[in-house]
Structure 1
Amino acid sequence: ALSALLGARGHEVIFAGLYPAPGNALTAAHALNIDLDGKKSALNFSLLKKLAALVREHQPDIIQANGSDTLKYAVLVKKWYFPNIPVLYRNISMVSSWASAGSIKNLLNRMLFRQVDFVTSVGQPSLDDLVKTYQYPVEKTMVIRRGIPEMAFDTTASRNMLSDKYGFHPADPLVMHIGQFSDEKNHPFILDAFREVLAHQPNARLILIGEGKNYSRIADTVSQSAGLRSHVFLAGHQSPVQEWLAGADIFILGSTIEGVPGVILEAGMQGVPTVAVQVGGVSEVVQDDVTGLLLHKHDPKAFAGAVCRLIEDKPLRDKLGQSARAFVSAHFSLDACRRDFETLYARVLNRQA
């Protein structure tokens, strides 16, 4: 969304992917979309040369990396080929969770970050975590919040679409989770909590959106459980997810690791309150009893109790959902995100000059 906005504003944007898309390629409107089709490895010199050739051809003013592999290749292109092009890194996670102090990954990333000209992060906890983990100079950092597009969908039409697709009654309570099927998204906890929900709300339904390495295992768990198979639906990748969220009553998140979860903001923009466990920067986007319900432990019964509370109390659910929409609109504007990046780009380029 940021690349598309920048392109629409007249900036020349090259949206480059390092690896082949797994079937749902990300593309940006108003940008030159290029897949370098590299093979993932510790260091792919062919991919590095492709990226260097791309930079040589287009001569960008700034290279922005979004993720650990893009950081590695961006820094090496800068160091070995184009030392005068500044590299910015956009952080969205708690880096200490996968690059702990003293680890080889931590040491290698510290070396990479010495070549990075500026770091942005989507929230203060994740920024503080990066500064501490890599000993990065705090004066070369800033928080730039996620920008959430304002997409409006008819809630009744979305609910009817989902109920028709999965064969449940539109009045049944509908809970939704969106995230990669990875260990940190904690799908087993979600299923344990939902079993508790069903003990009190036997008509409740749960839709799990996403793909990933644990998808088959979770699908097997659901299909082999008589109590879950007619209540839990795995939807795979869906776009736009906002249309699906508009049909939900409640969004849930039980991750063990998070930065600032954009899916909570997407839900809020559709007027859907969240039940979540506090990790990382979740509390930056879920205000307890204001925009959702926030728990501080991964306790399936307590989590289920919070979900049931919102199912049973529609006035509260509506109130939290309305507050969530107002909160996202006020603090996570896509235009504000774009303006902050434009200001940062100008600042970095002026410093280079």
Structure 2
Amino acid sequence: MKVLILRPSYVPEISGGTHLAVDLVEDMIANDIEVILVVPAPFRADDKVKEEYRNLKTEKQFDDKLIIHRINIFAGEKSLFSRALRMFLLTVGMFIQSLKTKNVDLIMSHSMPPFLGPISTLLGKIKKVPVLYWEQDIVSESLITTGVASKGMKKKLFYSFAKNLEKISSKGSDHIITISEDFRKRQISMGKPEDKVDVVYNWIDTNQLKPIPRRNNLMFQRYNLDPNNFYVTYCGNLGIPQNVEILVDAAKELQHIKDLRFLIFGNGVRKETISNYINNSGANNIKLLPLQPLEEASHVYSVGEVGVVIGRKGTARNGFPSKTWSIMSAGQAIISCFDIDSELSNFVREGECGIAVHPDDPIALKNAILELYNNPLQTKEYGRNARNYVSSKFSRDAATENIINIAKELEQSKKII
């Protein structure tokens, strides 16, 4: 069986979903599935990596069972227009490259960039193979919650356009995998038959991402961190949905506590904005550090006693932060500053992994941090609970096996027809 996968990133790109792609590809190959991967060239990476991959268009790995085609587009993301242009050009490049790919049995697509789903359904019709759509994001809802399209005609046009792209992706796909029960219900409400939609929660490999003692943690040496401090960390994307400013506000309110420190490991379109916000806040207890390579994720997520997940109000309608499982797998207590009735916040409460507070509320966030700082034994208990919870419910093996079985059944069903 040979699968063509189109997705928004792959190693060495540093992004939230990269480890999911790596795990799935490795496990597909272990199950005798050949993979052809069509992805953008690394964009959120340092200059050395970008230069290395500038002219590297094709790679072969795993004894040629994995072929990676990388599409290089020279367009930035400094404005909404440039981001949209980059997404469109990438999609065109990925479509052309995918057309050249022969003898595939299945196409697996992704919800980002938003044009990827529709062109994958077109590819499925051209190649006469089934399409499996992996819905990680809901762009139409994201436009609203991030304020990109918040009012008037702009809201109506942007929202309608994104909604139509999602409908095309949904209707044209033979099967859909969503990352939450809420996403599944939404697909069914759009007319997709229940037996054509499955939930596979994002996962974490707890054998790979595990707690690292501070004496062995590379981050403490690399960034000259005092191992005697109590650390609160945010790790991940610095975009519009992530209202990271409230963490800076909370840090400023708590800077009188000398051994309480805040670290942001992040990158994204708002990195410069967040850096300026920190500098202008006057907070002296918070550092903005670059995202680290995927292979050092255990070190990054083990730095702090507490890991924070932040999303603006309504963000739960358009995504699920995969960093949640990384925080838990590293044995950190978690503060979910997210929609209070979301699956994420429910998981935090159900697993007794930390504290869930309302989004966009720096005072609630500050109070949650104080509660964990003042109760170190409870914080350690939350961390132990978190690792146990994610190990038992969101393991890599069960999740990738589920996706692989869906792909195989889909490919076999088309052969029967």
The bucket for the TM-score relative to the shorter chain is: 0.7 to 0.9
Q: Which residue of 1 aligns with 2:301?
A: 245
Contact 2:71 / 2:93 at 8 angstroms: preserved in 1? no
Distance of 1:28 and 1:203 partners within structure 2: 48
Q: Percent identity?
A: 17
- Residues 41 and 186 of structure 1: CA distance in aligned 2, closer, same or farther (over 3 Å): closer
- Residues 52 and 35 of structure 1: CA distance in aligned 2, closer, same or farther (over 3 Å): same
Report the alpha carbon displacement of residue 219 of structure 1 after superposing the two structures with TM: 0.9
Q: Counterpart amino acid of 2:303?
A: G
Q: Which residue of 2 aligns with 1:34?
A: 69
Report the alpha carbon displacement of residue 138 of structure 1 after superposing the two structures with TM: 2.9
Q: Which residue of 2 aligns with 1:184?
A: 241
Aligned positions of 1:1-353 closer than 5 A: 1-18=23-40, 21-23=43-45, 30=62, 31-37=66-72, 40=86, 42=88, 45-54=92-101, 56=102, 59-69=103-113, 70-79=116-125, 81-82=126-127, 84-98=128-142, 103-132=160-189, 134-150=190-206, 151=208, 152-159=210-217, 161-199=218-256, 201-228=257-284, 231-239=285-293, 240-256=296-312, 257-258=315-316, 259-279=319-339, 280-287=342-349, 290-353=352-415
Report the alpha carbon displacement of residue 153 of structure 1 after superposing the two structures with TM: 4.4
Runs of 4+ with deviation above 6 angstroms? 24-29, 99-102
Q: Which residue of 1 aligns with 2:15?
A: none
Residues 264-310 of structure 1, C-alpha deviations (whole Å, 9 max, x = no match)? 11111111110012324322542267111111343211111111111
- Residues 225 and 165 of structure 1: CA distance in aligned 2, closer, same or farther (over 3 Å): farther
Note the aligned Cα RMSD (angstroms).
2.6
Residues 82-118 of structure 1, C-alpha deviations (whole Å, 9 max, x = no match)? 1x21111112234551367861221232123211111
Distance of 1:313 and 1:46 partners within structure 2: 53
Contact 1:91 / 1:119 at 8 angstroms: preserved in 2? yes
- Structure 1: runs of 5+ lacking an equivalent: none
Report the alpha carbon displacement of residue 51 of structure 1 after superposing the two structures with TM: 1.5
Name the stretch that deviates more: 264-273 or 218-227. 218-227
Distance of 1:9 and 1:347 partners within structure 2: 14
Contact 1:176 / 1:208 at 8 angstroms: preserved in 2? yes
Report the alpha carbon displacement of residue 337 of structure 1 after superposing the two structures with TM: 0.9
Residues 117-146 of structure 1, C-alpha deviations (whole Å, 9 max, x = no match)? 1111122123223444x4433331011122
Report the alpha carbon displacement of residue 46 of structure 1 after superposing the two structures with TM: 4.9
Distance of 2:400 and 2:94 partners within structure 1: 29
Distance of 2:352 and 2:235 partners within structure 1: 21
- Structure 2: runs of 5+ lacking an equivalent: 1-22, 54-58, 75-85, 145-155
- Residues 105 and 85 of structure 1: CA distance in aligned 2, closer, same or farther (over 3 Å): same
Q: Counterpart amino acid of 1:33?
A: I
What SS does structure 1 have at the residue aligned with 2:254?
A: helix
Contact 2:39 / 2:94 at 8 angstroms: preserved in 1? no
What SS does structure 1 have at the residue aligned with 2:401?
A: helix
Distance of 2:60 and 2:242 partners within structure 1: 26
What SS does structure 2 have at the residue aligned with 1:260?
A: coil
- Residues 85 and 162 of structure 1: CA distance in aligned 2, closer, same or farther (over 3 Å): same
Name the stretch that deviates more: 261-270 or 102-111. 102-111
Report the alpha carbon displacement of residue 156 of structure 1 after superposing the two structures with TM: 1.9
Contact 2:203 / 2:325 at 8 angstroms: preserved in 1? no
Report the alpha carbon displacement of residue 202 of structure 1 after superposing the two structures with TM: 3.2
- Residues 312 and 227 of structure 1: CA distance in aligned 2, closer, same or farther (over 3 Å): same
- Residues 98 and 158 of structure 1: CA distance in aligned 2, closer, same or farther (over 3 Å): same
Residues 45-74 of structure 1, C-alpha deviations (whole Å, 9 max, x = no match)? 4542222102x2xx2221111223332331
Distance of 1:282 and 1:14 partners within structure 2: 33
- In the superposition, the TM-score normalised over structure 2's length comes to 0.75
Q: Counterpart amino acid of 1:68?
A: M
